Amino acid sequence: MATKLPRTDAVVVGLGWAGAIIANELVDAGLSVVGVERGPWRDTAKDFNIASVTDELRYAQRQELMLRTAQNTITMRNTPSQTALPMRQWGSFHPGNGTGGAGNHWAGITFRFQPEEFRLRSHLEERYGAGSIPDELSLQDWGTDWNEMEPHYDAFEKLAGTSGRAANLARGRQAGGNPFEGVRSSDYPTPPLKQPYSPTLFADTAREMGYQPFPVPSSLVSETYTNPLGVTMGPCTFCGFCTNYGCANYSKASSITTVLPTLIRKDNFEARTLCEVLRVTTDSDGRRATGIVYVDSAGRQWEQPADIVVIAAFTFENVRLMLTSNIGEAYDPITRRGTTGRNYAYQTANSVQLFFDDKNFNPFIGAGAVGMGIDEFNNDNFDHSGLGFFGGGSTRVTPIGAAPINSRPTPPGTPRWGSQWKRSTVDNYASTMSIGCEASNYASPNNYLSLDPTYRDRLGRPLLRITFDFTDNDLKMAQYVTDKVTEIAKRMNPRQMVAKPRTGPWDGRPYQSSHVVGGFVMGADPSHSSVNKYLQVWDVPNLFVVGASAFPQNPGYNPTGTVGALAFKAADGIVNHYLRRPGEMITT
Amino acid sequence: MSKTRDTAKAGGLTRRQLLGSSAALLVGASGTARALSYTDTPEWQPFSNIAATPVDDDADWQFFTPDEAATVEAIVERLIPADDLSVSGKDAGCAVFIDRQLAGLYGDYERRYMHGPFQAGTPQQGDQSPLTPQQRYRLGLASLDDHCRNTQDALFKDLGGEQRDAILAQLESGDIALDDIDSVAFFEIVLQNTMEGFFADPMYGGNRDMVAWKMVGFPGARYDYRDYIERHNEDLAFEPVSIQGRGDWSTPA
């Protein structure tokens, strides 16, 4: 039995990007807020000290910062006819744990989605015809638009100190940025990062071919920056221990480097760590959330009543909590009814590896988001007429560092041990680079999230089950964009090239990206969405579920910028609309 | 000033209650950490969560029996042979590294989801073995010697280099079936751990004298390349540094 605690105005579940942003906005609006976090309190100085952070074994191999699968994991299968089995070690993606969440060990790449994305189905039907979208894709509009999203992107970039070069400013266009971006109300808060050799070589070649390369927008700040909350970050030093690591320099934006240092000092905020939420409680007819029940590290259960409940965990846990709390109707892939678990999507990661004889890339100099990209083959930036697929990808070179347990490129066919292996490892370590194409993944009726019927977590709750495979659409797209990248690679004149378009089936073992989205998506139509454009749950007006779980599909961009923007959007909905008419769905 | 407090009032246990209660109630995955409520400035000590402790290279084997250790050394010196590029995996400390890893939290997969039912799935569903790394080595090393006794009338460690290479290649390809463990799975964990040991920070027992880092040109635990990032296509000639520094930086004893 859970012991009931005194009520609070709002409880926020998860203190990663989304939860910390919303909690801070609600506290500033005068609400008393309790933040509940499954993992530990993390702090740069005690967790990511410069003396110890440069440890590939600990952070990349043993996954120190990631959620322990012993605590919670997922089960996976490619098709509904298979039996899902647990992911016993994180492979394909890396969920985080503790304050900061996956935002501690992310890469820092901070794109805005393009205006067309927020009305993707409408856009494609307008451009290619009403029947142009194949049945295997369940693409949707988001129920919002660029004008509504832009101020929230702007707020997130200013919070994170995002570095980059704008192209499409409201006051006019300028060269050197991403020409395909939506119109921006202001420039990036910090200038672009300096570039190492491999992105520079790529950008020079791309420019010669008529493309328009731009610095990858990065929430690894390029200079000392103080954000609107008064929190100061320091410049990125390109140490190369970035993705999978916490930042010791206060350079990588996360909730622990941009929000929590000020939020925790505010009187009406309290954070509870190592407390895992079991369910959202509702009144008898399920139309009002009454609070949450959580278990602390000693195994005792507590009920925290709240007038407003915000669920802002990682995609997987957002959806699992909704399923275990019976919020909404679970999606059924046969009848295609129900919305909880629907439209789960991923990212389609492709690459071309280039082996040179005459280059030294100093690959250990890097950062998760330093690099140059082009967007000519992304999303709907090129004409898809007659191609047989929709979507595309963000093409870029982003050297993240080259710690050598993982970074040991050798050409295909090289032995994996012995003298030949060693010779090839030495010969190729510094002279190999890769062009990535992080491409869209479009939702499909057969890709969904549900509760596993067999496997349970340590608390006896069902694990979340992923049923997912790449669609024909995405596989065709992968081949197309990889061919385009290969043309650029060829012109760079390497000794050898290895093109790696994503092929099926989805493989849970190698890391691809942590960009898992959907399952509790936003929209204007309650029959195909779980939350409205303010992330407010249909029919449960005081419950907000925030994160990449709200993406109806995934474009060819990294998700965090949009997660941050949606957090500001949800906070705006609560503070400026919901509090004026509590207990009602927001209708503006 | 810190207002960090136990969560008895706010929704958890006091430290005293926790210490007096059953340890089985502890959240296994978070070790001894306890639920805490934070307001105001959270209290922390510098380095308080930095538990990486250098291993003692010279200590006795922590997990392996002496026979097992000799077998592992006989494997790692073939996976990473001595040549003009580096010393062998054995002399680089890879067996010590694996021994210390198996004796530590990696050895029994305390962080890994280990609930059944355990059943074979598709390759894409990944490792579904119920065996911990400790068990994989214990069973695999014994089975490997059984195989060598049956086919070569010798222990693995007593075979010549080329014979060991041939057996390792047959484990890798699955052409040898071991009695108590899947031969490919056994080979894969040994290869993975050997490479981890060779390329990890030397404080974990392998990569002695930063031999692997010198070999490939990885500068190690450096953290500031702002002055170098725009020096393109140039050999920067960094000498590597480990988390513990460099031997030649230490005061001579």
Q: What percent of chain A has pLDDT over 90?
A: 98
Secondary structure (H, E, C), A14-75: CCCHHHHHHHHHHHHCCCCEEEECCCCCCCHHHHCCCCCCCCHHHHHHCCCCECCCCCCCEE
Q: Is A63 left (phi over 0), alpha (psi -120 to 50) or beta?
A: left
Predicted local confidence at residue A262, as pLDDT: 96
Find all residues with CB under 8 Å of A526, minimum gap 6, and list them. Answer: A339, A538, A539
Whether B10 and B95 share a structural domain: no
Half-sphere exposure of A103 (CA within 13 A, CB side): 40
- CA gap A572, A25 in Å, rounded: 8
B-facing residues of A in 350-409 (CB < 8 A) are: 359-362, 364-365, 370, 402-405, 408
Range in A294-298, A318-322, B53-57 the model is least confident about: B53-57
- Residues A240, A248: contact at Cβ < 8 Å? no
Question: Catalytic site residue A515?
Answer: yes
Find all residues with CB under 8 Å of A508, minimum gap 6, and list them. Answer: A76, A87, A91, A92, B124, B125, B126
| Chain mean position to CA B28 | 21
Predicted local confidence at residue B22, as pLDDT: 29
A65-86 pLDDT per residue, tens? 999 999 999 999 999 999 999 9
Residue B137 lies in a domain: yes
A80-119 pLDDT per residue, tens? 999 999 999 999 999 999 999 999 999 999 999 999 999 9
- Structural domains counted in chain B: 2
Band of pLDDT at residue A207, cut at 50, 70 and 90: very high
Q: What percent of chain B has pLDDT over 90?
A: 73
Residue B35: which of A42, A297, A370 has the nearest Cβ?
Answer: A297
Residue B172 lies in a domain: yes
Band of pLDDT at residue B248, cut at 50, 70 and 90: confident
Locate B211 and state its tokens: 């031999």
In this predicted structure, the answer to whether residue A36 has a pLDDT above a threshold of 60 is yes
Q: Tell me whether A78 touches chain B (CB under 8 Å).
A: yes
When pLDDT is averaged across residues A462-489 and rounded to a whole number, the result is 98
3-state helix, strand, coil in chain A (%, to 5): 25, 25, 55
Per-residue DSSP letter, B24 = G
Distance from the A99 Cα atom to the nearest Cα atom in chain B, whole angstroms: 12
A353-403 pLDDT per residue, tens? 999 999 999 999 999 999 999 999 999 999 999 999 999 999 999 999 999
In this predicted structure, the answer to whether residue A205 has a pLDDT above a threshold of 80 is yes
Q: Which domains does chain A have, with CATH numbers?
A: 3-580 (3.50.50.60)
Residue B218 lies in a domain: no
Query: Are the beta carbons of B25 and A299 separated by less than 8 Å?
Result: yes
Q: Which residues of B touch A404 (CB under 8 A)?
A: 199, 212-213, 216, 218
Question: Which residue's structure tokens are 């005293």?
Answer: B16
Per-residue DSSP letter, B243 = T
In this predicted structure, the answer to whether residue B18 has a pLDDT above a threshold of 70 is no
Residue B98 lies in a domain: yes
Give the 3-state secondary structure of residue A220: strand
Range in A139-143, A317-321, A327-331, B49-53 the model is least confident about: B49-53
- Residues A552, A102: contact at Cβ < 8 Å? no
Pairing assessment for the beta strands A342-345 and A517-519 based on DSSP bridges = antiparallel
Q: Is A352 left (phi over 0), alpha (psi -120 to 50) or beta?
A: beta
Whether B39 and B151 share a structural domain: no
Whether B6 and B86 share a structural domain: no
Q: Which residues of A touch B126 (CB under 8 A)?
A: 85, 87-89, 91, 508-509
> Which residue out of A94, A123, A384, A515 is catalytically annotated?
A515
Query: Are the beta carbons of A238 and B42 separated by less than 8 Å?
Result: no
Whether B44 and B86 share a structural domain: no
What DSSP element (H or E) covers A488? helix A472-491
Locate A405 and state its tokens: 């347990």
Whether B84 and B153 share a structural domain: yes
- Residues A315, A517: contact at Cβ < 8 Å? yes
For A101-116, b/e burial (b = at least 16 CB within 10 A) is bbbbbbbbbbbbbbbb
Give the 3-state secondary structure of residue A301: strand
Nearest partner of A396 among A354, A352, A437, A355, judged by Cα? A437
Distance from the A273 Cα atom to the nearest Cα atom in chain B, whole angstroms: 5
Is the Cα torsion angle B202, B88, A361, A377 positive or negative in sign? negative
Whether B18 and B101 share a structural domain: no
Whether B10 and B72 share a structural domain: no
Q: Is A47 left (phi over 0), alpha (psi -120 to 50) or beta?
A: alpha
Residue B232 lies in a domain: no
Pairing assessment for the beta strands A8-13 and A33-36 based on DSSP bridges = parallel
Question: How open is the CA angle A326-A92-A397, to the nearest 5 degrees?
Answer: 125
Locate A225 and state its tokens: 């920056």
Residue B192 lies in a domain: yes
Establish, for the pair of chains A and B, how many residue pairs have beta carbons separated by less than 8 Å.
292
Predicted local confidence at residue B36, as pLDDT: 80
| B17: closest chain A residue by CA | A298
Whether B207 and B89 share a structural domain: yes
Predicted local confidence at residue B15, as pLDDT: 33
Whether B36 and B79 share a structural domain: no
Q: Which residues of B touch A194 (CB under 8 A)?
A: 226, 229-230
Q: Tell me whether A442 touches chain B (CB under 8 Å).
A: no
Locate B191 and state its tokens: 């290869």
Residue type at position A551 = F
When pLDDT is averaged across residues A262-266 and rounded to a whole number, the result is 96
Residue B236 lies in a domain: no
- CA gap B153, A371 in Å, rounded: 57
Whether B96 and B208 share a structural domain: yes
Is the Cα torsion angle A17, A23, A24, A26 positive or negative in sign? positive
Q: Where is pLDDT greater, at B245 or A431?
A: A431
Residue B90 lies in a domain: yes
In this predicted structure, the answer to whether residue A172 has a pLDDT above a threshold of 80 is yes
Task: Give the burial class of B50: count Cβ atoms within 10 A of its Cβ; 0-12 exposed, 13-18 middle, 19 or more buried.
Answer: middle
| B41: closest chain A residue by CA | A265
In this predicted structure, the answer to whether residue B17 has a pLDDT above a threshold of 50 is no
Distances (CA, A) of A290 to A190, A329, A447, A583: 42, 19, 32, 12
Locate A352 and state its tokens: 């071309």
Predicted local confidence at residue A300, as pLDDT: 94
Question: Which residue's structure tokens are 């959202």?
Answer: A280
- CA gap A309, B72 in Å, rounded: 55
| Chain mean position to CA A56 | 23
Whether B137 and B27 share a structural domain: no
Predicted local confidence at residue A1, as pLDDT: 83
- CA gap A5, B92 in Å, rounded: 57
Find all residues with CB under 8 Å of B144, minimum gap 6, and list them. Answer: B71, B156, B167, B171, B178, B186
Per-residue DSSP letter, A342 = E
- CA gap A297, A57 in Å, rounded: 27
Radius of gyration of chain B (CA): 23
Question: Which residue's structure tokens are 């047959």?
Answer: B170
Whether B80 and B159 share a structural domain: yes
B69-78 pLDDT per residue, tens? 999 999 999 9
Domain that holds residue B198: 66-113+127-213
